[in-house]
């Protein structure tokens, strides 16, 4: 095991300390301990190991545990309710926190931070867009600071001139009081759109910070005519862009990390007037059972120096990591900068998409592995967002279960789904984007009976979609959903293309299909 010497101080005494303390003090963070400001990856790795926050793997990856919270806590997330948000926010989907409770929470968190060491990063979201979004992140652990430095774009040389559009204060050691703060537990993620502030307490799961930025941009972007999207994106050698919508675990990261195409980003994007831009500057990949042969680019990035590995099991005898070990959680993660993926294009805007793919993991084994969608069908599927929650992505989810998540990301939507659907419809029609559904879920039966569709088969299907082969294929109409489904594709088992043929019992298939159709009908109401 490689150990690093304990640093004596957090920053050099070069006048920067007084400057950042003054800025933090104006925000309410006063009488702090030591302050780290915009330190780079190497220094943050040193801090994290020396402070006992993390261990270093034999390849230099930073291995951390997030405690009881190994996934997001959607029931602990709140938006401040006031005059403006009362009309704009989708309250059927979001929990309200009063201004009084938020102000009390903020005051108590500021008090809690006194005499504590903090780590500050000045960052930018949307680095490739026409307009960047500045974010200041204050954390109490070095590894969380390194995490956000991977996920967003570092801003250099702007000390004293950086004007954050959003402040995130993440203090996992702070415990909320439901009676005092209006929360449901000691955990809280509270968003104030008026003050552009996010307060996070009671959870060390770093994905809360990442998704808080996305939630804020989901609120702001539609006002600018920009569609924020829970999707990955890549381009071919001619610059033609493809989008991949889907919830965590459906293949956004895996399928977009294609060595034959340039990666724009793996999770969050905006579709603006001039094309597609990445909201982030890094990747947050699921790494449970990560296989070097099938996902070489992600495997390499996950082991690089400074990559943050959340809840991955480390062999302390030799310093190697075991990606197959899900004893802590199935939601093991790797956070790394986009530059760690060969051929990626950090901070570059892609063309308006030629292809849009909606990914789903059908837990019932009914949906075909690929279908061509009309613009109307694409918008309908976007609004439904059918997939399966994957084990570990949220607390309490132990195995995949069918769910409908509007716009493939309902937990991150502060506005009603129709707002985003309207923008999607406009952009698909304006740019002639071709739309498809790809099912990466089960075949030959539902979860527990059938098998997950093999990744090589999904890759062959995607290749046929991107090359236009699907559009040239003979089609049948899926009797359950009305989709156009290809009868045959190169390199794809024909039985896979027609799900009923993969089932051992045709009667069981039709029962499952009828049940899923009814679920779709209920979800549309």
**What is the residue range of 175's domain?**
16-55+70-224
**Catalytic residue of the set 43, 210, 252, 269:** 252
pLDDT confidence of residue 134: 98
CA distance 155 to 164: 11
Q: Which of 147, 268, 158, 273 is nearest to 206 (CA)?
A: 147
Secondary structure in 3-state letters for 340-363: HCCCCCCCCCECCCCEEEEEECCC
328 and 213 in a common domain? no
Same-domain status, 133 and 169: yes
Dist CA 149 CA 347 (whole Å): 14
Q: CB neighbours (10 Å) of residue 455?
A: 15
* Under 8 Å between Cβ of 355 and 466: yes
DSSP 423: H
Q: Is the pLDDT of residue 390 over 80?
A: no
Average pLDDT, the chain: 93
pLDDT value at residue 447:
82
Alpha-carbon distance values, 489 to 289, 457, 462, 480, 495 (Å):
29, 10, 11, 21, 11
Task: Please give the pLDDT value at position 7.
Answer: 39
d(Cα 498, Cα 224) in Å, to the nearest integer? 42
Catalytic residue among 230, 286, 427, 434: 230
The closest of 385, 498, 388, 393 to 443, measured between CA atoms, is: 498
The domain that contains 295 carries what CATH number? 2.170.8.10
253 is catalytic: yes
Contact present, 199 and 209 (Cβ < 8 Å): no
Of 175, 201, 224, which closes a domain?
224
Does the active-site annotation cover 360?
no
Digit-coded pLDDT (tens) for 338-389: 999 988 988 889 999 999 999 999 988 999 999 999 999 999 999 999 986 6
Catalytic residue among 72, 150, 181, 434: 72
**Per-residue pLDDT at 397:** 53
Farthest-apart Cα atoms in the chain, separation: 75
Determine, yes or no, domain membership for 123. yes
433 vs 58: CA distance, rounded Å:
45
Q: Does 401 lie in the same domain as 423?
A: yes
**b or e along 207-227 (b: 16 or more beta carbons within 10 Å of the residue's beta carbon)?**
bbbbbbbbbbbbbbbbeeebb
- In a domain, residue 62? The reply is no
The DSSP secondary structure of 152-172, one letter per residue, reads: SEE--S-TTT---SEEEEEET
Beta-carbon contacts of 131 under 8 Å, excluding residues fewer than 6 positions away, are none
CATH number assigned to the domain comprising residue 450: 3.90.228.20
Is residue 431, in this structure, part of any structural domain at all?
yes
| Token reading at 68 | 């009881």
**267 is written with which tokens?**
């999770």
Q: Establish whether 252 is a catalytic residue.
A: yes
333 is an active site residue: yes
Lowest mean pLDDT among 274-288, 327-341, 399-413, 475-489: 399-413
Tell me the two tokens of residue 388: 């399966």
Supply the DSSP string of 211-252, one letter for each residue: HHHHHHHHHHGGGGT-EEEEEEEEE-TT--EEEEE--TTSSH
Structure confidence at residue 3 (pLDDT): 39
Strand, helix or coil at 103? helix
Q: Do 402 and 468 lie in a common domain?
A: yes
Is 142 part of any domain? yes
The tokens for 86 are 């009362």
pLDDT over threshold 80, residue 393: no
pLDDT digits (tens, 9 = 90+) for 166-200: 999 999 999 999 999 999 999 999 999 999 999 99
Residue given tokens 């250099």 in the structure block: 156
157 with 185, same domain? yes
Max avg pLDDT among 307-311, 401-405, 451-455: 307-311
Residue 184 lies in a domain: yes
> From CA 60, how far away is CA 63, in angstroms rounded?
9
Q: Check whether residue 300 and residue 400 sit in a common domain.
A: no
The whole-number pLDDT of residue 345 equals 87
Return the H-helix or E-strand segment holding 400: none
Same domain flag for 104 and 252:
no
Q: Which of helix, strand or coil describes residue 464? A: helix
Query: How far is Cα 81 from Cα 79, in angstroms, rounded to an integer?
Result: 6
pLDDT, mean of residues 406-427: 97
Domain boundary at 176, 199, 224, which?
Answer: 224
Is residue 23, in this structure, part of any structural domain at all? Answer: yes
- Residue 471 has what pLDDT? 97
Active site residue 248: yes
Q: Which residue in 77, 261, 333, 372 is the catalytic one? A: 333
DSSP helix/strand/coil, 135: strand
Whether 13 has a pLDDT exceeding 80, the answer reads no
Conformational region of residue 330, where left means phi above 0, alpha means psi within -120 to 50, and beta covers everything else: alpha
Asked whether residue 64 is assigned to any structural domain, the reply reads: no
Q: Residue 474 has what pLDDT?
A: 97
| 8 located within any domain | no
- Highest mean pLDDT of the ranges 15-19, 63-67, 389-393: 63-67
Distance from C-alpha of 263 to C-alpha of 256, rounded to nearest angstrom: 6
- Region 420-434: mean pLDDT is 98
Out of 47, 150, 211, 389, the active site residue is 211
Residue-wise pLDDT for 26-62, tens only, equals 999 999 999 999 999 999 999 999 999 999 999 999 9
Q: What is the pLDDT of residue 461?
A: 97
Radius of gyration of the chain, Cα coordinates, nearest whole angstrom: 23
Q: Cβ(378)–Cβ(355) under 8 Å?
A: no
* pLDDT above 70: residue 22: yes
The predicted pLDDT at position 398 comes to 59
Whether 354 and 491 share a structural domain? yes
pTM above 0.85, yes or no: yes
pLDDT tens string 221-258: 999 999 999 999 999 999 999 999 987 778 898 999 89
d(CA 129, CA 111): 37
Instruction: Report which DSSP code applies to 274.
Output: T
The 10s digit of each residue's pLDDT in 1-10 is: 343 443 334 4
**Does residue 331 sit in the same domain as residue 381?**
no
* Pair 270, 392 in one domain: yes
Beta pairing class for 118-125 and 153-154: antiparallel
Asked if residue 366 lies in contact with residue 513, where contact means CB atoms within 8 angstroms, the answer is: yes
What pLDDT is recorded for position 160?
80
pLDDT, position 248: 74
Active-site residue, 72 included: yes
Please give the span between the terminal C-alpha atoms of the chain, in angstroms, as a whole number.
Answer: 57
Given a cut of 50, whether residue 12 has pLDDT beyond it is no
Cα separation, 23 vs 381, in Å, equals 46
Q: Which of these is catalytic: 85, 253, 337, 345?
A: 253
Q: How many domains does the chain have?
A: 3
Cβ pair 342, 380 in contact under 8 A: no
CA distance 443 to 497: 10
Task: Write down how long the chain is.
Answer: 525
* Annotated active-site residue in 192, 267, 362, 478: 267
Which of 340, 373, 406 is the last residue before a domain boundary?
340
Band (pLDDT 50/70/90 cuts) for residue 158 is: confident
Regarding whether 289 and 180 lie in a shared domain, the answer is no
Rounded CA separation 109/70 (Å): 22
Q: Same domain for 434 and 309?
A: no
Distances in Å between the Cα of 411 and the Cα atoms of 394, 398, 421 are 11, 19, 16
3-state secondary structure of 19: helix
């Amino acid at each position: 095991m490689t150990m690093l010497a304990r640093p004596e101080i957090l920053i050099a005494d070069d006048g920067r300390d007084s400057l950042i303390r003054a800025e933090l003090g104006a925000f309410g963070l006063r009488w702090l301990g030591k302050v780290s400001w915009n330190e780079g990856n190497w220094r943050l790795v040193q801090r994290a190991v020396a402070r006992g926050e993390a261990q270093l793997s034999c390849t230099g990856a930073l291995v951390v545990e997030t405690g009881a919270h190994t996934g997001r806590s959607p029931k602990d997330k709140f938006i401040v309710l006031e005059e403006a948000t009362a009309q704009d926010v989708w309250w059927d989907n979001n929990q309200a926190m009063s201004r009084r409770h938020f102000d009390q929470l903020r005051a108590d968190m500021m008090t809690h931070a006194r005499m504590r060491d903090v780590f500050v990063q000045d960052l930018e979201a949307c680095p490739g867009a026409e307009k960047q979004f500045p974010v200041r992140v204050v954390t109490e652990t070095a590894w969380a600071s390194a995490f956000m430095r991977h996920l967003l774009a570092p801003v250099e040389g702007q000390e004293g001139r950086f004007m954050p559009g959003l402040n995130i204060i993440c203090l996992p050691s702070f415990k909320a009081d439901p009676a005092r703060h209006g929360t449901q537990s000691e955990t809280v993620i509270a968003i104030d759109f008026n003050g552009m502030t996010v307060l996070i307490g009671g959870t060390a799961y770093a994905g809360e910070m990442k998704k808080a930025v996305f939630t804020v941009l989901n609120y702001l972007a539609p006002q600018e005519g920009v569609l924020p999207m829970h999707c990955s994106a890549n381009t071919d050698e001619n610059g033609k862009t493809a989008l991949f919508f889907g919830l965590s675990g459906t293949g956004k990261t895996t399928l977009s990390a294609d060595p034959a195409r340039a990666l724009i980003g793996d999770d969050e994007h905006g579709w603006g007037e001039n094309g597609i831009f990445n909201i982030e500057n890094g990747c947050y990949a699921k790494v449970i059972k990560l296989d070097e042969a099938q996902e070489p680019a992600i495997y390499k990035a996950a082991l690089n120096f400074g990559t943050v590995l959340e809840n991955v099991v480390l062999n302390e005898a030799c310093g190697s990591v075991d990606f197959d070990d899900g004893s802590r959680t199935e939601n093991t993660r790797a956070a790394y900068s986009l530059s760690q993926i060969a051929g990626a294009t950090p901070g570059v805007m892609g063309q308006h998409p030629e292809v849009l793919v909606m990914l789903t993991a059908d837990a019932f084994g009914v949906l075909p592995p690929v279908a061509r969608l009309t613009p109307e069908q694409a918008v309908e599927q976007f609004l439904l967002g059918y997939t399966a929650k994957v084990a570990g992505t949220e607390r309490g989810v132990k195995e995949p279960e069918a769910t409908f998540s509007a716009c493939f990301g309902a937990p991150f939507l502060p506005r009603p789904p129709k707002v985003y659907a309207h923008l999607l419809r406009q952009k698909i029609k304006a740019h002639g984007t071709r739309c498809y559904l790809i099912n990466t879920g089960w075949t030959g039966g539902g979860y527990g009976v059938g098998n997950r569709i093999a990744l090589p088969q999904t890759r062959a299907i995607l290749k046929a979609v991107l090359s236009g082969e699907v559009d040239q294929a003979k089609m049948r109409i899926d009797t359950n959903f009305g989709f156009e489904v290809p009868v045959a594709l190169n390199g794809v088992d024909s039985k896979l293309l027609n799900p009923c043929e993969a089932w051992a019992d045709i009667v069981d298939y039709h029962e499952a299909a009828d049940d899923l159709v009814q679920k779709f009908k209920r979800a549309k109401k």
